[in-house]
């Protein structure tokens, strides 16, 4: 117990362990974000997380729960809205993303008694991670990894060719909803780490880096996890030695890795 | 009569009040090869999507045989360039064992591409991969949406030939959409000319004489097809039942020899 306490008692190790937990799920989920062109969707969910926090304070529920519920409601609202094709999806996402962010900020301003670290929410506060956060991250990771392993073939088939998947009896709509719920969950647990404005980067950059080297979807998901670990480890070291903010440092490391992999593998293009 | 795989009664599909498929009746039996032809916007794709069960009908009924396994060959595989995928992995996503995947690829002649990336296949190779992907599930019904698109002219004939052979091997039904009128006429048992409603349907040789067909495709097309068929009827008579390479079709033995005109077929809308 004393070793565990010694490790978890140190803020640096807590940050590292928490970061690795997030990278473990952000890798494969990030691949789906890239494959299904859902980057802007991920951004919208992340922006709505701030609204979730404001609402959690308002009705006093745990922050993570409030964020998950808000993201889920928003994801379902998006699905319903996008059936009505009057507005293009990116327009709709733009409206909802920034409205959710703005409403969140306005709501927070109505609660002056709530002392809240806005910078931490927007850009992450990885070094302030506590044991409770670790519990959320690894709880979420177990659920998401189990779902991904269980649903992998169906998710992949419906990503490759939705109609073919439907003909083969894969419940495409239900899987899409489950994938959105998983995004909501990962955003809720990763928010503390890199903040709502940088979460999408953590999903996309390791996956895009992995694309350059991968031959199969599974290979790409595994590599995305590895590059996520590299980003977390590198970012935290950078933060430690250069005294830079931890969340942005993780994203900067991820970006640097991306550049190195693409430059060393030849051209900066999305081709094999 | 062979087992009925799909029966469609009075099927209509409307989008925003616009009728795309209008009161279509159709029966598809095991062993049939039915080709749907028709101008752009005629509702061909909507009709096969309804058969596939991925397009809801506005009215009418579709009945599928119990436990019907459908192999669907879509027009294209629009694979996102960010998704790395080998032929082998794509085949395995069918949930079938590797040995069966490989024998399906062998059957369509692309097993040498097992380790290749799906992104790098030519049009013809991609169609053969999609066909293998449909085959591996041992379908009762093959549904193909313009299978020969992006395939060169020699490849097209070979592909239609392969589809016919597969029908014999699997004893399945086949329904496909095609624009390759000449090849279709040679490779099909029954042609359905669709223009929202079924303009005319019947055996290839007869349909090119049908007034509704001539009206839809124009006389030059109809005449060129009629000439073509005359030629092939002739060679058919000389050689008996032709199987294997080269276009062949079998009309003899069927009890109908005239195209079935759909009643009430009117063409005031063009």
Q: pLDDT: is B248 or A50 the higher one? A: A50
Taking CA–CA distances from A173, the nearest residue in chain B reads: B54
Q: What local confidence, expressed as pLDDT, does residue A16 receive?
A: 92
The string of pLDDT tens digits covering residues B154-174 is 888 888 889 989 999 999 999
Q: Judge whether residue B235 has pLDDT over 60.
A: no
For residue B220, name the pLDDT band (cuts at 50, 70, 90): low
A127 touches chain B (CB under 8 A): no
For residue B248, name the pLDDT band (cuts at 50, 70, 90): very low
Domains in chain B (CATH in brackets) are 4-69+139-179+190-198 (3.40.50.300)
Q: How far apart are CA A67 and CA A32, in angstroms?
A: 21
Cβ–Cβ below 8 Å for A156 and B93:
yes
The number of beta carbons lying within 10 Å of the beta carbon of residue B103 is 13
The string of pLDDT tens digits covering residues B183-215 is 777 767 788 888 888 877 777 767 767 777 777
Q: What angle do CA A193, A195, A196 make, to 5 degrees?
A: 135
Q: What local confidence, expressed as pLDDT, does residue A86 receive?
A: 76
Query: Which bin fits A195, alpha (ψ -120 to 50), beta or left (φ > 0)?
Result: left
Below-70 pLDDT ranges, chain A: 1-2, 4, 7, 85, 266-272
Report ipTM (2 d.p.): 0.84
For residue B175, name the pLDDT band (cuts at 50, 70, 90): very high
Q: What local confidence, expressed as pLDDT, does residue B153 receive?
A: 80
Q: What local confidence, expressed as pLDDT, does residue A111 receive?
A: 82
Q: Report the pLDDT averaged over residues B92-116.
A: 94
**Token digits for B250?**
């079998």
Q: How far apart are CA A94 and CA B255, in angstroms?
A: 63
The number of beta carbons lying within 10 Å of the beta carbon of residue A189 is 26
Please give, rounded to a whole number of angstroms, the shortest distance from the CA of B146 to a CA of chain A.
15
Residue B15 β-bridge partners: B18
Cβ–Cβ below 8 Å for A270 and B82:
yes
Q: Within the 191-250 window of chain B, which residues sit less than 8 Å (CB to CB) from chain A?
A: none
The string of pLDDT tens digits covering residues A17-47 is 999 999 999 999 999 999 998 888 888 888 8
A269 touches chain B (CB under 8 A): no
A217 touches chain B (CB under 8 A): yes
Q: Are strands B260-261 and B197-202 parallel, antiparallel or unpaired?
A: antiparallel
Q: What local confidence, expressed as pLDDT, does residue B256 receive?
A: 40
Q: What local confidence, expressed as pLDDT, does residue A156 receive?
A: 96
Residues of B in contact with A270 (CB under 8 A): 81-82
B141 touches chain A (CB under 8 A): no
Domains in chain A (CATH in brackets) are 2-264 (1.10.3470.10)
For residue B77, name the pLDDT band (cuts at 50, 70, 90): confident
Q: Give the highest mean pLDDT range of A246-260, B35-49, B169-183.
A: A246-260
């Amino acid at each position: 117990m004393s070793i565990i306490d010694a490790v978890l008692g140190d803020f640096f190790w807590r940050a590292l362990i928490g970061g690795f937990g997030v990278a473990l799920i952000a890798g494969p989920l990030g691949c789906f974000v890239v494959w299904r062109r859902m980057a802007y969707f991920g951004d919208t969910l992340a922006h709505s997380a701030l609204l979730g926090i404001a609402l959690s304070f308002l009705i006093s529920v745990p922050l993570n729960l409030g964020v998950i519920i808000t993201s889920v409601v928003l994801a379902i609202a998006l699905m319903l809205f996008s059936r009505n094709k009057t507005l293009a999806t990116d327009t709709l996402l733009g409206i909802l993303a920034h409205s959710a962010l703005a409403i969140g900020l306005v709501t927070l301003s109505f609660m002056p008694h709530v002392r809240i670290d806005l910078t931490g929410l927007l850009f992450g506060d990885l070094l302030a991670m506590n044991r409770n956060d670790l519990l959320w991250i690894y709880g979420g990771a177990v659920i998401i990894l189990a779902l991904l392993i269980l649903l992998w073939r169906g998710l992949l088939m419906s990503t490759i060719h939705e109609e073919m998947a439907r003909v083969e009896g894969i419940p495409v709509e239900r899987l899409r909803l489950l994938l959105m719920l998983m995004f909501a969950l990962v955003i809720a647990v990763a928010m503390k780490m890199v903040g709502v404005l940088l979460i999408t980067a953590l999903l996309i950059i390791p996956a895009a880096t992995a694309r350059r080297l991968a031959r199969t979807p599974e290979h790409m998901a595994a590599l995305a996890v590895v590059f996520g670990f590299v980003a977390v480890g590198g970012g935290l070291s950078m933060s430690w030695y250069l005294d830079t903010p931890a969340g942005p440092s993780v994203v900067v490391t991820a970006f640097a890795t991306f550049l190195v992999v693409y430059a060393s593998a030849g051209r900066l293009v999305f081709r094999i | 009569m062979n087992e009925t795989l799909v029966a469609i009664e009075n099927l209509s599909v409307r989008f925003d009040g616009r009728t795309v498929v209008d009161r279509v009746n159709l029966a598809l039996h095991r062993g049939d090869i039915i080709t749907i032809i028709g101008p752009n916007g005629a509702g061909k794709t909507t009709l096969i999507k309804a058969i596939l069960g991925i397009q809801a009908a506005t009215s009418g009924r579709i009945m599928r045989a119990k436990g019907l396994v459908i192999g669907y060959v879509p027009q294209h595989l629009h694979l996102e360039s960010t998704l790395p995928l080998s032929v082998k992995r794509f085949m395995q996503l069918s949930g079938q064992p590797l040995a069966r995947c490989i024998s399906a690829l062998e059957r369509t002649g692309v097993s040498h591409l097992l380790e290749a990336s799906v992104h790098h296949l030519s049009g013809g190779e991609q169609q053969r991969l999609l066909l293998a992907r449909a085959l591996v599930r041992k379908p009762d019904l093959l549904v193909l949406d313009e299978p020969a698109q992006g395939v060169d002219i020699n490849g097209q004939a070979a592909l239609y030939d392969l589809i016919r052979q597969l029908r014999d091997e699997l004893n399945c039904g086949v329904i496909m959409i095609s624009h390759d009128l000449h090849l279709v006429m040679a490779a099909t048992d029954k042609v359905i000319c669709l223009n929202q409603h079924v303009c005319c349907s019947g055996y290839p040789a007869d349909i090119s004489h049908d007034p509704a067909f001539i009206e839809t495709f124009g006389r030059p097309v109809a005449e060129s097809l009629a000439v073509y068929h005359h030629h092939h009827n002739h060679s058919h008579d000389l050689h008996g039942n032709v199987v294997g390479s080269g276009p062949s079709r079998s009309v003899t033995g069927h009890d109908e020899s005239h195209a079935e005109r759909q009643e009430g077929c009117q063409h005031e809308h063009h």
